Amino acid sequence: MQDNLVFALEGRCIPNTQRAGQHLTISRCWDRDKILFESMELSRLRSLTVFGDWRSFFISPDVKMKYLRVLDLEDTSGVTNGDIEQIGNLLPHLKFLSLRGCQYITRLPASLGGLRQLQTLDIKGTRIVTLSATIIKLKKLQYVRAGPPLDSDVASTSQRPAAAATPPAVDGDGDGAGVSTSQPTPTAAADVDEARTSAARRSGPRGGLVFSWLSKLNRHGHVSSAHDGVQFPVAAAWGIGKLTALHTLGVVNVSNVGGKVVLRELKKITQLRKLKLSGINRKNWQDFCYTISGHGYLESLSVRLDHDEQQDHLCNLDDISKPPKTLKSLKLYRGNVHVSPVWMKQLDGLKKVDVEDLELTISEQVDIDSLKDLRCKDKYRHLCVKPIEDGDLHYGWREEDWIGGGFGDATVLKINCGSYRSEIAFGQWITRTVESLVVHCSTTESSLELSG
């Protein structure tokens, strides 16, 4: 057998050779023969993928695989906290670790701090709510994906792995329709490419399983917005800024005691491309804005707000003084989000906006004049005119040839004249789009005159 082949253990498999090559897949249907497994030569193994039930003898002092770089246990049932302890102790060269969907993992052991080569850590769908303080020792980390399982109703008392429900089967047809796993690190990707080249030469019934293994590293799945994320312990909060290699981080909950420190430390991670946060509230909103302001590489930002009924104006994106101009995707959940056209216009590369309640706030004529050039116009549900001084506002009046294309979903127009004297002239597209007009003036000195 060539060393670069992907080897699959299936059924009552009896290998022709005891050398497994560099890539080993344990299928769901393999009979978990401990004697056979421990007799295999695994010292040169670079990647291990497990489907179905886990057995503690897969990673043990009796099995020599200390040069393993990729360990993918997504949706593997029966993995315990003790098994993760062994991983930290026995696999010092690991670069890619996926525990995604291992619902009975409740903590990360201190031994993971010894995985100094680790680049990808995926614990999404586990029961981990607080990261280990030793995570700040992993200076090569590039991807950290976290968050509780989609099914948050699993009884907390059902901690015995034997009682775990069987995870969804991974079909062997390689269609990649299942739930996603982690993005591989560059080194892990090289291992996958090598395995794919070898697998292409294979024939027979195992081919589907091999390609299913490959798809496990390449599929992109749905991430629920109904999560709270994991927290950094206070002891580790001050060291997060040292993880300068991070490209992807989240979901991180910053509502705890050390949350403000975490936000400040994130400012130091200048290479971040993708950030997911939860627990943003009125107490840490300004710290969040400071972190995001002027970020040079951020491409995707997802934020879950702690909604406060008494704080309707918690989220005003204009508080971020320098919008991250590299941003391509913006998602905000559980809150009424306000933003000005001038602020949004600075996001030249924005392609995707997902906000549950996005309100476009117009305060000056320059805001109105920017409407035509905004991206993602169909994402605004409300338009709000809120003058900041006495004077006239020509709302869509100057662009006679423009009929408000793209703003078809903005059916509510609010006018809050505050204490100012305002004259607002409407253009033709307002009457074609707006279905509801809400006017509020707070003092007797204020006045409002409408025309158009």
Whole-angstrom distance, CA of residue 96 vs CA of residue 91: 11
Q: What is the average pLDDT across 274-279? A: 96
- pLDDT of 173 higher than 50: no
Task: Out of 118-132, 156-170, 324-338, pick the least confident.
Answer: 156-170
30-52 confidence digits (pLDDT tens): 999 999 999 888 988 999 999 99
Look at 257 and 69; give whichever has higher pLDDT: 69
pLDDT confidence tier of residue 317, bands split at 50, 70 and 90: very high
Give the whole-number percent of the chain exceeding pLDDT 70: 74
Whole-number pLDDT of residue 363: 87
Average confidence score pLDDT of the chain = 79
Whole-number pLDDT of residue 263: 97
CATH class of 6-224: alpha beta
CA 48 to chain centre: 25
- pLDDT of 164 higher than 60: no
pTM: 0.79
Q: Where are the domains of the chain?
A: 6-224, 225-339, 361-452
- pLDDT of 122 higher than 90: yes
Whole-number pLDDT of residue 360: 86
